[in-house]
């Protein structure tokens, strides 16, 4: 019996997402350092929902309405915001049971960019196995969208995209003819034995080090701390708990 095979694709930059146009696909957004890791951490710590906003002015408007706002640009917390982009900011004490507003340089904008697709979810190393199972359970084409850095390719996002793609392609319903997917998997295979050593050379690693914000690198590359899948629905991210291994 021939399977109706679904496609796995990896998009290296929001600037080329147009090339992957496929309204029937599900999209997984990854921004390892740090937006999608922070979003997963927030849900692990009981946040009720997250409103990702694109612009600084939108974030400010929400603040004026009384929302708790996490907002940064280029790794710097915006002055009106309650806190920035470190996953450690999204502690249980701060976020449990709340709706928060979140705006970052790259990640939250990528989530919004993907919104016309069939479904949008947030991936990180923290939910690596769960997000891979979630994709397979959707039984649809998938585009893994790397948020990157200001539309440039990012090594840590690519390595995670490769890890997810490799997991999904182990399922017989999925295949790929996408060079960026093959490259991402090759880079993941190269990085996997010592992920932190590999990521040491990444540009974002250096940016965070320069700003003294690199305490999160280890945490952001820790696999499978949660089964929660943040999914984007009607403008907000809400948690879905994935039953790992049911595919």
d(CA 163, CA 179): 15
Binding segment (CB under 8 A) for a second copy, from list 78-86, 109-117, 134-142, 178-186:
178-186
Question: Residue 242, Cα to own-chain centre: how many angstroms?
Answer: 16
Stretch of residues binding a second copy (CB under 8 A), selected from 85-93, 102-110, 183-191, 224-232: 183-191
* DSSP state for residue 150 in the 8-state scheme: T
Query: In this complex, which beta carbon is closest to a second copy, that of residue 177 or of residue 246?
Result: 177
- What is the spatial distance between Cα 55 and Cα 65, in angstroms, rounded to a whole number? 16
Instruction: Please say which residue, 96 or 150, places its beta carbon nearer to a second copy.
Output: 150
Of 104, 94, 52, nearest to 230 by C-alpha is 52
Per CB under 8 A, 187 contacts a second copy:
yes
Instruction: Provide φ and ψ at 87, rounded to 5°.
Output: -55, -30
Asked whether 230 and 102 are in contact (CB, 8 A), the reply is no
196 binds a second copy (CB under 8 A): no
**185-210 per-residue burial string, b: 16 or more CB within 10 A, e: under 16:** bebbeebeeebeebbeebebbeebee
Cβ proximity to a second copy: between 18 and 64 the closer is 18
Nearer to a second copy, 72 or 157 (CB): 157
Name residues contacting a second copy, limited to 9-48 (CB under 8 A). Answer: 12-13, 15-16, 18-19
CB 182 within 8 A of CB 144: no
E strand or H helix at 230, and its extent? strand 228-233
Residue 182 binding a second copy, by CB under 8 A: yes
Alpha carbon 69 to its chain's center: 19
* CB closer to a second copy, 153 vs 219: 153
Is residue 105 at the binding interface for a second copy, with CB under 8 A as the rule? Answer: no
Asked if 158 is part of the footprint of a second copy (rule: CB under 8 A), the reply reads yes
Applying CB under 8 A, among 5, 57, 151, 192 the residue interacting with a second copy is 151
Q: Which residues bind a second copy (CB under 8 A)?
A: 12-13, 15-16, 18-19, 149-155, 158, 177-180, 182-183, 186-187, 190, 201-204, 206
């Amino acid at each position: 019996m021939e399977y109706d095979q679904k496609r796995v694709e990896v998009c290296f930059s929001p600037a080329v997402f147009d090339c992957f146009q496929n309204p029937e696909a599900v999209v997984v957004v990854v921004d390892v350092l740090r937006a999608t890791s922070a979003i997963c951490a927030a849900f692990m710590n009981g946040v009720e929902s997250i409103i990702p906003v694109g612009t600084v002015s939108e974030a400010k408007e929400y603040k004026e309405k009384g929302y708790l706002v996490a907002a940064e640009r280029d790794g710097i917390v915006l002055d009106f915001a309650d806190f920035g982009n470190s996953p450690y900011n999204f502690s249980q004490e701060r976020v449990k049971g709340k709706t928060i507003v979140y705006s970052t340089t790259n990640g939250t904008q990528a989530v919004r960019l993907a919104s016309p697709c069939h479904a949008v979810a947030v991936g990180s190393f923290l939910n690596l196995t769960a997000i891979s199972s979630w994709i397979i359970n959707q039984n649809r084409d998938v585009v893994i969208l790397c948020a990157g850095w200001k539309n440039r390719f990012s090594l840590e996002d690519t390595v995670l995209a490769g890890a997810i793609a490799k997991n999904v392609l182990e399922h017989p319903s999925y295949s790929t003819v996408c060079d960026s997917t093959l490259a991402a998997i090759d880079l993941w295979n190269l990085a996997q034995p010592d992920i932190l050593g590999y990521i040491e050379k990444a540009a974002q690693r250096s940016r965070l080090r320069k700003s003294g914000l690199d305490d999160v690198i280890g945490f952001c590359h820790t696999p499978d701390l949660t089964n929660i899948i943040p999914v984007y629905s009607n403008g907000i991210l809400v948690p879905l708990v994935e039953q790992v291994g049911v595919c």
